[in-house]
Amino acid sequence: MWAKHGAHLGELVRYADDFVVMCRSAQAREESQRRIEHVLGRLGLKLHGRRRGA
């Protein structure tokens, strides 16, 4: 899903049960976070607050 809809925002790296999105700009980071929070919210999940941000 990320490759089709979010790859232009940054590279998504998955490991174990976690992931990181590496973005080139703060604007891309904010948009990535918004999209990820939307998808996770539809699944009844949310990002852990201590790990968000640049």
Does residue 54 sit within a domain? no
Instruction: Note down the domain range covering 34.
Output: 2-46
Q: To the nearest whole percent, how much of the chain has pLDDT over 90?
A: 65
Residue 11's pLDDT band, with cuts at 50, 70 and 90, is very high
Residue 24 belongs to some domain of the structure: yes
Q: Is 6 left (phi over 0), alpha (psi -120 to 50) or beta?
A: alpha
What distance in Å separates the CA atoms of residue 4 and residue 2, rounded to the nearest whole number?
5
Question: Is 17 within the bounds of a domain?
Answer: yes
In a domain, 51, yes or no: no
d(CA 44, CA 3): 22
Is 14 among the domain residues?
yes
Helix (H, G, I), strand (E, B) or coil at 14: strand
Domain count along the chain: 1
Question: Cβ neighbours of residue 33 under 8 Å, at least 6 residues apart?
Answer: 47, 52
Residue 30 covered by a domain: yes
Q: Does residue 53 fall inside a structural domain?
A: no
User: Residue 52 domain-assigned?
Assistant: no
Residue 54 has pLDDT above 60, yes or no: no
For 21-34, write each residue's pLDDT tens digit: 999 999 999 999 99
